[in-house]
A and B are shown apart, each in its own frame.
Chain A
Amino acid sequence: MSLAILDGGAFYHHEAIHGARYRDLFDRSIYMPELTPEHLEGVRLLIVPDRINPDLLRARRQILIDFAENGGTLVVLGENQAETWLPGVNWTSRPTNFWWWLEKDARPQQRLVSPDHEFFQAVPFADTIWHFHGVLRPPAHSQTLIDVPPDPEGRDAGGALLYDDRVTTAGRLIVSTLDPFYHHGSNFMPATTKFLDGFLPWARRLARA
């Protein structure tokens, strides 16, 4: 059983997927415009990196849903408009504060909800903290890993940035608002590289367990 990843063809996808740092971790990369069910034969875990063209995801949503319904684990990262194509996803946009860490006595809003989840054995909570683009309302009986409190300006009621859903499909949906591929692949934010340093080897272990 293997680990596969969708490749959106943007330069940051190319760097993160085909660059020297991580390329040996993937058993298969699948160019998004060419995705067919045959590509997912033998795949146990499929990563949908952040910023895959949402028109293409919607057009091929049934392939991805069938993969999860057949017992696969689908990891869907941020900025993919997952609420428009993936069952159970409910997302609210929150205006992004890229500058929170410049504010006096800056403290991140993120809260570690499930410290015992296996994800955090691979990825330290500190490596999940950077700006975020919205919040998720997880389906009932799914497990929230990281959340944030309600928006201080009242625009949303707070919600999850990462959750693990073993309920909605016969497989597993791990859904996040975070966007590490874009920021790592464009050589910008070190926290996102640390995130992938932990997350991708964990994903590989899950795929091969």
Chain B
Amino acid sequence: MKPALALSYGFPDGAMANLTSHPDAVGRITTRDLYGLQALDLNKFGALLVSMHVDQRFLASRAGQIAGFLQDGGTVIANGHLAYPFLPGMKGVHALQNYGLKDLAVRRLTDHAIWAGVSENDLTFRRGVAGFYGRAWHEPPEGATVIHALGTPDRPLDFIYRVGRGRVLFHGGNDLWQYGGSDSAGRIVPQLLHWMFSGESAA
């Protein structure tokens, strides 16, 4: 299996460091500066990890390279709100306005291996506070599998869709690799790594 590529953005990223140092990831995730993307041969990598903190305006200037990577069977895992068009088929963000607790409840619409054994409650709340996992929704591309929605089923938060021989996992909130805690959300990181390195056959 090819290594994954994580794009760095100038800051130390503790959550990403925890991901890359996970026993299931050691030696399998290469970190490179975002602004060096153009010079990289993405065919050497199986997956591209995009933090919520990256410069999306720059990524949008590399949208063709990213689309080509997907066509050829790559996996993109992207977090945050979409502000610039760097992913095929994606539309802009709908941030929740004047939201209350019920609007922030994470609802599972489809079971998926990455979130197996992770309770909706542990995604919705951290130390009793709601909203860390997501505060916005996106319209997924045609044919996407929606895993989680926010508040009501028509507000997709996590979804997966195919592009060519590749696939995109989009999480419209704080980076998925921030969820390394002791509750059931701590299952996300190892299960994400397993999915990421399982190749293009698994949706």
Indicate with 1 or 0, residue by residue over A4-15, a CB within 8 angstroms of chain B CB atoms: 000111111011
Q: Are B11 and A54 in contact (CB under 8 A)?
A: yes
Q: Are A99 and B127 in contact (CB under 8 A)?
A: yes
Contact count band on A: 20 to 34
CA distance A36 to B51 in the complex (A): 27
**Any chain B CB within 8 A of the CB of A142?**
no
8 A Cβ contacts from B2-60 to A: 9-11, 33, 35, 52-58
Closest to A14 in B: B83
Closest CB in chain A relative to B116 CB, distance in Å: 28
**Any chain B CB within 8 A of the CB of A209?**
no
Q: Are B10 and A54 in contact (CB under 8 A)?
A: yes
Residues in chain B near residue A33, CB distance under 8 A: 35, 55, 58
Q: Are B53 and A188 in contact (CB under 8 A)?
A: no
Residues in chain A near residue B9, CB distance under 8 A: 53
**Any chain A CB within 8 A of the CB of B128?**
yes
**Any chain B CB within 8 A of the CB of A165?**
no
Q: Are B81 and A15 in contact (CB under 8 A)?
A: yes
Contact of B52 among A7, A11, A31 (CB under 8 A): A11
Q: Are B84 and A14 in contact (CB under 8 A)?
A: yes
**Any chain B CB within 8 A of the CB of A147?**
no
Closest CB in chain B relative to A10 CB, distance in Å: 6
Q: Are B83 and A102 in contact (CB under 8 A)?
A: no
CA distance A144 to B128 in the complex (A): 35
Number of interface residues of B (CB under 8 A): 27
Closest CB in chain A relative to B8 CB, distance in Å: 9
Contact of B83 among A15, A51, A99 (CB under 8 A): A15
Contact of B10 among A11, A53, A188 (CB under 8 A): A53
Q: Are B135 and A188 in contact (CB under 8 A)?
A: yes
**Any chain B CB within 8 A of the CB of A206?**
no
Take A186-B81, A187-B96 as given contacts and tell me if A53 and B55 are in contact as well, using a CB distance cutoff of 8 Å.
yes
Q: Are B82 and A11 in contact (CB under 8 A)?
A: yes
Residues in chain B near residue A51, CB distance under 8 A: 11, 53
Closest CB in chain A relative to B84 CB, distance in Å: 7
**Any chain A CB within 8 A of the CB of B95?**
yes
CA distance A53 to B53 in the complex (A): 9
CA distance A53 to B12 in the complex (A): 11
CA distance A109 to B111 in the complex (A): 44
Query: 10 A–B contact pairs at CB < 8 A?
Result: A14-B57, A14-B83, A15-B81, A31-B57, A32-B55, A33-B35, A53-B11, A54-B11, A56-B10, A99-B127
Taking Cβ atoms with an 8 Å cutoff, the residues of B that contact A are 9-11, 33, 35, 52-58, 80-84, 93, 95-96, 127-129, 131, 135-136, 174
- Additional A-B contact list (8), CB under 8 Å, known A11-B81, A33-B58, A99-B129: A10-B55, A11-B80, A11-B82, A11-B93, A33-B55, A55-B33, A99-B127, A186-B80
The 9 closest A-B pairs by CB, nearest first: A9-B55, A9-B57, A53-B10, A14-B83, A11-B83, A55-B10, A11-B81, A187-B95, A187-B135
